[in-house]
Structure 1
Amino acid sequence: MNTYEKEKVIQTFKKDIFPILTERIREPIIKMKNFGFYEIEEIRLRANKPLMLYKNNQGFFLDEKGEIKSENGLIVTKDDIEKTYLLMCDYSLYTMEEDIKQGFLTLKGGHRVGIAGKVVSEGGKIKTIKNISCLNIRIAKEVKGCALNLAKSIYKDGIKHTLIVSPPGCGKTTILRDLVRLLSNGIKEIELSGKKVTVVDERSEIASCYLGVPQNDVGIRTDVLDGCPKVDGLMMAVRTMSPDVIAVDEIGSIKDAEAIMDAINTGVKVISTVHGKDLDDVLKRRGIKLLFENECIDVVVFLSNRNGPGTIENIIKIN
Structure 2
Amino acid sequence: MERQERREQILNILAAGIRKVLLNTVPKPEELQEIRMRLGQPLRVVRGKEEIVLRSGTEPYIVTKEELRETMDYISHYSLYAYENELRQGFVTVEGGHRVGVAGKVIMEKERVKNIQYISSLNIRVSHEVLGCADRLIPYIVANKQVCHTLIISPPCCGKTTLIRDLIRQISDGNEYVKGCSVGVVDERSELGGCYLGIAQNHLGTRTDVLDCCPKAEGMIMLIRSMSPQVIAVDEIGTVEDIHAIEYAMQCGCRMIASVHGLNMDEASNKPVLGDLIRRRMFQRYVVLGNEKGPGEILGIYDERGSVLCRNL
State the TM-score, normalized to the length of structure 2. Answer: 0.94
Runs of 4+ deviating beyond 3 Å: none
Secondary structure, counterpart of 2:152 in structure 1:
strand
Counterparts of 2:263 and 2:167, CA distance in 1: 21
Counterparts of 2:143 and 2:245, CA distance in 1: 27
Q: Could you tell me which amino acid in structure 2 is paired with residue 50 of structure 1?
A: P
Task: State yes or no: 1:173 paired with 2:161.
Answer: yes
RMSD: 1.5
What's 1:107 paired with? 94
Q: Please list every run of 5 or more consecutive structure 2 residues that lacks an aligned counterpart in the other structure.
A: 306-313
What's 2:310 paired with? none
- String of CA shifts for 1:16-55, please: whole Å, max 9, x gaps: 111111111001211226x532321100011111100101
What's 2:37 paired with? 45
Task: State yes or no: 1:32 paired with 2:25.
Answer: yes
Deviation at 1:153, TM superposition (A): 2.6
Deviation at 1:156, TM superposition (A): 4.6
Counterparts of 1:36 and 1:236, CA distance in 2: 41
What's 1:83 paired with? 70
- String of CA shifts for 1:292-316, please: whole Å, max 9, x gaps: 1333211000011122111100001
Structure 2 counterpart of 1:11, from 5, 26, 29: 5
| Aligned partners of 1:256 and 1:287 also within 8 Å | no
Structure 2 counterpart of 1:54, from 46, 54, 71: 46
Deviation at 1:112, TM superposition (A): 0.3
Counterparts of 2:38 and 2:214, CA distance in 1: 29
Counterparts of 1:207 and 1:292, CA distance in 2: 28
Counterparts of 2:290 and 2:4, CA distance in 1: 27
Q: Tell me the number of residue pairs that the alignment of Structure 1 and Structure 2 aligns.
A: 304
Structure 2 counterpart of 1:252, from 232, 238, 244: 238
What's 2:123 paired with? 136
Q: Could you tell me which amino acid in structure 1 is paired with residue 16 of structure 2?
A: E
Identify the structure with the greater helix proportion: 1
Structure 2 counterpart of 1:226, from 208, 212, 219: 212
Deviation at 1:196, TM superposition (A): 0.1
Q: Could you tell me which amino acid in structure 2 is paired with residue 121 of structure 1?
A: M
| Aligned partners of 1:252 and 1:286 also within 8 Å | no
| Aligned partners of 1:255 and 1:287 also within 8 Å | no
Q: Please list every run of 5 or more consecutive structure 1 residues that lacks an aligned counterpart in the other structure.
A: none
Deviation at 1:194, TM superposition (A): 0.7
Counterparts of 1:270 and 1:287, CA distance in 2: 17
Secondary structure, counterpart of 2:233 in structure 1:
strand
Q: Could you tell me which amino acid in structure 1 is paired with residue 148 of structure 2?
A: K
Q: Could you tell me which amino acid in structure 2 is paired with residue 172 of structure 1?
A: K
State the TM-score, normalized to the length of structure 1. Answer: 0.92
